[in-house]
A and B are shown apart, each in its own frame.
Chain A
Amino acid sequence: DIILTQSPLSLPVTPGEPASISCKSSQSLLHSYGKTHLDWYLQKPGQSPQLLIHSISSRASGVPDRFSGSGSGTDFTLRISRVEAEDVGVYYCMQAPETPPYTFGQGTKLEIK
């Protein structure tokens, strides 16, 4: 099974400052048909996870443009250009494979300093 490793696991950030989270895969996530389905989800305190980014860099509907995703192969990054108080929570990367199982990273907890 593919293992996703996130870093850091804890991320204290001052409001207005940028933040980035890394997600490294144990093997390439490139599908045979040329797509890479690496997503980012945010679980705010007390809430269900919500989709932020799909397919490495495509923002989901309604997601602010301060969120961006990048990467390829085995290395991926979620960036927040200017962190706001409402961004607190746990961020997960997830890979959607051609053949299951799907896997999530361990999660990165973003908190406001």
Chain B
Amino acid sequence: EVQLVESGGGLVQPGESLRLSCAASGFTFSNFWMHWVRQAPGKGLVWVSRINPDGSGTAYADSVKGRFTISRDNAKSMLYLQMHSLRTEDTALYYCIRDSFQLGTYYGMDVWGQGTTVTVSS
């Protein structure tokens, strides 16, 4: 079964750091682009970051650029999001997502995890 399982969320104070993890299974992780998308309580979806299959290319939303770092370990089928200088506005459910883009063809963001909750509050 194709699956993404996020972990690492929690309650932190403003200015602190947190690292989210996403364990992938059921597919060849190293072949896929991966994303993080977040959803603040009661709000819509917001794209956060993307990484290419070999980890050499990354992109970020302006709101997190310079504070968040996306990375991956293909040997372990793991995706990460290192978050520094957290702000109250970073409070959200963070989803790990598989992007089905392969060999020049795009098929959508076809696999979503259940999300891990990050709460930034003093």
- A: residues with CB less than 8 A from B are 1, 35, 37, 39, 41, 43, 48-51, 53-55, 58, 60-61, 90, 92, 94, 96, 99-107
Q: Within the complex, what minimum Cβ distance (angstroms) separates B57 from chain A?
A: 10
Partner of A92, one of B45, B59, B108, B113: B45
Q: Establish whether residues A37 and B59, one from each chain, have CB atoms under 8 Å apart when the complex forms.
A: no
Counting contact residues on chain B (CB < 8 A from A), the size range is 20 to 34
Contacts of A103 in B (CB 8 A): 47
Interchain Cβ contacts within 8 Å, total number: 68
The reply on B44 being an interface residue by CB < 8 A is: yes
Chain A residues contacting B107 (CB-CB under 8 Å) are 54-55, 58, 60
Q: Please tell me if the beta carbons of B50 and A48 are within 8 angstroms of each other in the complex.
A: no
Q: Which residues of B contact A (CB under 8 A)?
A: 35, 44-47, 50, 59-62, 95, 99-101, 106-110, 112-115
Q: Are A107 and B115 in contact (CB under 8 A)?
A: no
| Alpha-carbon distance between A35 and B113 when the two chains are bound, in angstroms | 27
Chain A residues near B99 (CB-CB < 8 A): 96
Chain A: minimal CB distance from B9 (Å): 14
Q: State the CA gap A50–B37 with chains docked (Å).
A: 13
Q: Could you list 5 further interchain pairs (A-B, Cβ under 8 angstroms) beyond the known A41-B109, A100-B59?
A: A39-B109, A48-B112, A54-B106, A54-B107, A104-B45
Which listed residue (A48, A55, A60) contacts B95, Cβ 8 A?
A: A48
User: A48-B115, A107-B44, A107-B45 in contact; A100/B50 too (CB < 8 A)?
Assistant: yes
Taking a contact as CB atoms under 8 Å apart, the answer to whether B112 and A50 are in contact is yes
Q: CA of A48 to CA of B115 in the docked complex: distance in angstroms?
A: 8
Q: Which A residues are in CB contact (< 8 Å) with B110?
A: 51, 54, 60-61
Task: State which of A43, A50, A104 has its C-beta within 8 Å of the C-beta of B46.
Answer: A104
- Indicate if the CB atoms of B61 and A101 lie closer than 8 Å: yes
